[in-house]
Structure formats: C-alpha cells, structure tokens
Amino acid sequence: ERAIHVFSQHASRLSRQQNWAEAREYLEIAYKMCNSNDHLKYYTCQVLLDRAMMQIEECPSHPLNSLPYILECLSISESRSMICEHAAALALLGRVFLHIGSYKR
C-alpha cells in the first residue's frame, strides 16, 4: 500500500510540473500494483480518479478521453459499495459533461 501512495504522489508532483508522460508511467505502475491484489481495489479507484483528473488537465479540449478511467472507477466502486469513490467518480463525470456543454446530463 505504501508503494502505491509513493507512486501516486510522484505522479501528482509530475503532473503539476506538466510532465504528463512520466506521470502516466507512475500511475500505470500503481494501477498494476493495485490489480495484483483483490484487497487493493480501493486504491485502484483512487489511481483511476487520479488518472482521469490528469487526463482532463493534460488535454482540457478533449475531456472525453478521461471516460474510460471514470467508468472503470464507477464499475468497481458500485460493485464493492465504495460510496465515497463512487460519488467522486460521478462528480468527475459531471465535470466532463460540463466541459463538453452537455448540461442536461
């Protein structure tokens, strides 16, 4: 778990520096670590949300590119009754729809 936090923190720092490629690599490593153990699904959701946020920041003109990460997070969080992660993913989905001008959704 500690290693996942370390990789996520490195990715966060790199994304603030707009070093997107390296930040993606760190999040990919964290994602693989999360998927190696079924007990780490909570962290999988956090990594997916981080990846979706980074995608939106990296390319704000194409927010739909973040949808795969958001939808996977929604799926995991719903199946495991992870209420906070589910709410965070729904809020991020709302932000994506706001970006594309789809206010009714």
Q: Would you list the DSSP string of 23-59?
A: HHHHHHHHHHHHHT-GGGHHHHHHHHHHHHHHHHHH-
- Tens of pLDDT along 6-24? 999 999 999 999 999 999 9
- Tens of pLDDT along 33-65? 998 988 888 899 999 999 999 999 999 999 999
Domain ranges, ordered by start, for the chain: 2-99
- Tens of pLDDT along 67-89? 999 999 999 999 999 999 999 99
Max CA distance (Å), the chain:
40
